[in-house]
Amino acid sequence: MSSSALGLASRPAVANPLLAGYADYQQLSRQVAELDALDGVTASSLGRTAGGREIHLLTIGTGRAERKPAVLVVGTVHPPHLLGSELAMSLARGLARGLAEDDPRLRRLLAAYTIYVIPRPDPDGSEKCFARPWIEPAGNERPADDDRDGEVGEDPPNDLNGDGWITLMRVQDAAGRHMPHPSDPRVMIEADARQNDRGRYQLYVEGQDDDEDGQFNEDGSGGVSLNRNFSYRYPAFTPAAGPHPVSEVESRALADFAFERTNIAIVLSFSPDDNLMHPWKSDPQGNAGAIKTSVLPDDAPYFDRIAGEYRKLLGATEPPPASQGAGSLASWAYFHYGRWSFSARGWWVPPVAAADPAAGKGRNTDKPMPSAGEASVADDSAAGTAAGSKQANRSKANDAPSGAKSVDKRAADERNLLRWLDREAIDGFVPWRRIDHPGFPGQRVEVGGFKPFVRLNPPAAELPRLAAAHQEFLRHLLEQMPRFELPPPQVTALGAGLFRIKATVLNVGYLPTSTELGSMGKLTGRPQFALELPQEVVRLRGTRYVLLDRLAGRGGKAEQTWLVRVAGQAPAEGRVRVSAPSVGSRQRTLRLMAEPTVGPSKSKAP
């Protein structure tokens, strides 16, 4: 768990002001070590990255971790979304503290379940957030030829104005496609023929054409993104996707860990692939063929209900659209790993009402616009920075003082962001300032725009509130886990040493014993229903154990009948047992005696 020399070397001289209060790798490692010292918490490493950093894993709970059903929490899946690891760590801390303080609800949950926490699965990628120039990193430290020209990293963005941030450049150009927003000239929008607009600017990411190939900043060797490297809808031949699915140390470590832990029932990750504010929908078309591309119909209601609970706990509205999940961890966890997969963005810029001198009070917020088609905005770092080119209309509400005649609704998100920055007094926007740019002789070039990170990570003061909400959500999730119940088996003595044993098992938890996809896809362990008998008892009907199909939630049941013969007079004792790695187990002993009996003992978890 030692912090690497490399981590030390890349310590920035000036800290990223928008990430004040967020842990860098060293601080995270220290926090992990502190938790490791607590009862019920074990820290280990899933592997070492190319940058020499450990992929931390915390295993939390009492008893034997791998024998209990588990939830896997994955923190910062998208490297600049550092909120993810802060929330993951706060979940771990909350659980550990609850154990230490003997919180009875938590103690009960952590005796029954294991929580695995991988706070920062791509530590190399996330560490780039702390090094100048500040730009939202795409992925790890693998040298990546983003533009596939045979050279690596030959044209990264450049901090032309020396302010430490990579923002945008606007270049005055009669052929330009962009123009300032009519009511807020800081925001750039795309010219629209329907509005009789005239574009006056070309927009670029801040930088120069380092390799003189006519393109700007097309290859910053952004590394491979963990969240583009998984096998479900893997986006081959796109930047940051890597040479093939699961090609990276990080993705492989995570997948190998997950596949070896058959006890994992739920994967809770933090990423912009938000399916808690935007629950996945079941689409009959996506399920018509052999390859499933949408949530299976039996699973959809559970995703919906749990997402509803999340929305209640978080109490936030107007989320940005979710990214579409090509190659993402969250979609992999469901479609190729077969587990319940929930992914939370955790926070976003809240809607802020425009100052309204006429009305003097806030107005209701409208419903968010449908998000389809806004696919790549959410976590493409470059596009996220250059979102001026996207006509995001999400929070169209509170756009202008009431009474104003007509407000151009375009770029509502960005204008809302500016209002929020003003309200919170956050320095998150670089005003457009002219620079000399040798790449555009004779043209007016200005650098400016939103600073990276500002949309992904809230001010650190928000963290305790968010942590509490997610803490509550995790407890809620644990309380939804499937649970076996084993009523006393019915034992009928048929005479002459023959006994018929009928046993029933119920799932009394909210969730089914696995997802439909997991059982259809043969990805999840099957519940075993076993009758254990002494050697001298002969089975006439029914095998030592049977494998059950998925049991539905809230009362899904299965029955099994055995016929056995006990030689001699002595009563025999047997045991009926049901178990599944991601559900748990129950067992009951039963006695086979000459007279009909009912299994005496009460159900207990071994």
Choice from 76, 524, 560, 582 touching other proteins (CB under 8 A): 524
563 touches other proteins (CB under 8 A):
no
Give the range of 30-38, 82-90, 240-248, 433-441 binding other proteins by CB under 8 A: 240-248
Upper half-sphere CA count for residue 20 (Cβ side, 13 Å): 7
Least distance (Å) from other proteins to the CB of residue 295? 15
Q: Which stretch binds other proteins (CB under 8 A): 25-33, 231-239, 343-351, 468-476?
A: 231-239
Does the protein bind other proteins through residue 291 (CB under 8 A)? yes
Among the listed residues 119, 108, 126, 122, the one whose alpha carbon sits nearest the alpha carbon of residue 59: 119
Residues 346-383 as b or e (16 or more Cβ within 10 Å = b): bbbbbbbbbebeeeeeeeeeeebbebeebeebbbbbbe
CA 514 vs CA 114, 263, 341, 465: distances in Å: 17, 11, 12, 32
Return the H-helix or E-strand segment holding 363.
none
Task: Please report whether residue 121 would count as binding other proteins according to CB under 8 A.
Answer: no
CB of 67: closest distance to other proteins in angstroms? 11
Collect all residues with Cβ–Cβ distance below 8 Å to 583 and sequence separation of at least 6. Answer: 69, 265, 481, 482, 483, 484, 507, 509, 513, 527
* Interaction between residue 525 and other proteins (CB under 8 A): yes
Interface with other proteins includes 502 (CB under 8 A)? no
Using CB under 8 A, which of 28, 169, 171, 246 touches other proteins? 246
Stretch that binds other proteins, among 27-35, 90-98, 112-120, 519-527 (CB under 8 A): 519-527
Query: Of the ranges 211-219, 344-352, 412-420, 501-509, which one interacts with other proteins (CB under 8 A)?
Result: 211-219
Q: Which of 32, 83, 110, 255 binds other proteins (CB under 8 A)?
A: 255
Q: How far apart are CA 315 and CA 423, in angstroms?
A: 20
DSSP codes joined into one string, 247-310: -SHHHHHHHHHHHH-TTEEEEEEESSS--SSS-----GGGGTSSS--S--TTTHHHHHHHHHHH
* DSSP line for 376-410: GGTT-HHHHHTGGGS---TT-TT-S-TT-S----T
Does position 213 bind other proteins by CB under 8 A? yes
Which of residues 94, 207, 245, 556 is near other proteins by CB under 8 A? 245
Give min distance, CB of 252 to other proteins, in A: 8
Residue 231 makes contact with other proteins by CB under 8 A: yes
Whether residue 399 contacts residue 364, with contact meaning beta carbons closer than 8 Å, is answered with no
Q: At what angle do helices 104-112 and 463-479 cross, to 10 degrees?
A: 60
What is the C-alpha to C-alpha distance for residues 85 and 74, in angstroms, rounded to an integer? 8
DSSP string, 19-60: GTT---HHHHHHHHHHHHTSTTEEEEEEEE-TTS-EEEEEEE
Which amino acid is residue 301, in one-letter code? Answer: P
Phi, psi of 549 (to 5 degrees): -80, 180
| Whole-number Å distance between alpha carbons of 106 and 267 | 19
CB of 230 to other proteins, least distance (A): 8
When the beta carbons of 260 and 427 are compared against other proteins, the nearer one is 260
Among 546, 552, 563, 593, binds other proteins (CB under 8 A): 546
Amino acid letter at 162?
Answer: G
DSSP secondary structure code for residue 194 in this structure: G
Q: Is 581 one of the binding residues for other proteins (CB under 8 A)?
A: yes
Nearer CB in complex with other proteins: 25/332 = 332
| Among residues 170, 336, 577, 586, the one that binds other proteins under rule CB under 8 A | 336
Between 128 and 336, whose beta carbon lies closer to other proteins?
A: 336
Taking the complex as a whole, how short is the minimal distance between the CB of residue 256 and other proteins, in angstroms? 8
Q: Does 412 bind other proteins (CB under 8 A)?
A: no
Return the range that interacts with other proteins (CB under 8 A); candidates 61-69, 209-217, 489-497, 505-513.
209-217
Binding mask 139-178 for other proteins (x = CB under 8 A): ---------xxx----------------------------
Q: Does 438 bind other proteins (CB under 8 A)?
A: no
Q: Which stretch binds other proteins (CB under 8 A): 17-25, 44-52, 66-74, 245-253?
A: 245-253
Query: Smallest distance from the beta carbon of 336 to other proteins, in angstroms?
Result: 5
Residues 461, 329, 92: CA angle, nearest 5 degrees: 40
Answer for which of 192, 212, 427, 549 binds other proteins (CB under 8 A) is 212
Residue from the set 215, 262, 287, 393 that interacts with other proteins by CB under 8 A:
262
Q: Collapsing DSSP states into helix, strand and coil, what is residue 327?
A: coil
Closest CA to 160 of 209, 202, 231: 209
How many residues belong to the site for other proteins (CB under 8 A)? 39
Smallest distance from other proteins to CB 525, Å: 5
**Between 122 and 318, whose beta carbon lies closer to other proteins?**
122
Whose structure tokens read 């559900």?
A: 583
Q: Which of 261, 545, 563, 597 binds other proteins (CB under 8 A)?
A: 545
CA torsion angle 291 297 301 306 (round to 10): -10
Min dist CB 526 to other proteins, Å, is: 5
To other proteins, the closest distance from the beta carbon of 29 in angstroms equals: 28
487 prior amide bond cis, ω within 30: no
* CA atoms of 189 and 449, how far apart (whole Å): 12
Joined together, the tokens standing for residue 420 give 């929020």
Q: Which is nearer to other proteins, 449 or 525 (CB)?
A: 525
Pair of tokens at residue 476? 């809620």
Closest CB 518 distance from other proteins, rounded Å? 10
Least distance (Å) between residue 151 CB and other proteins: 8
Of 213 and 424, which CB lies nearer to other proteins in the complex structure? 213
Q: Is 64 in the site for other proteins (CB under 8 A)?
A: no
550 binds other proteins (CB under 8 A): no
Taking alpha carbons only, the member of 548, 549, 588, 594 closest to residue 571 is 594
Cα 189 from Cα 391, distance rounded (Å): 7
- Applying CB under 8 A, which residues contact other proteins? 148-150, 212-214, 230-231, 234, 236-237, 243-247, 255-256, 259, 262, 290-291, 335-336, 520-526, 528, 543-547, 579, 581
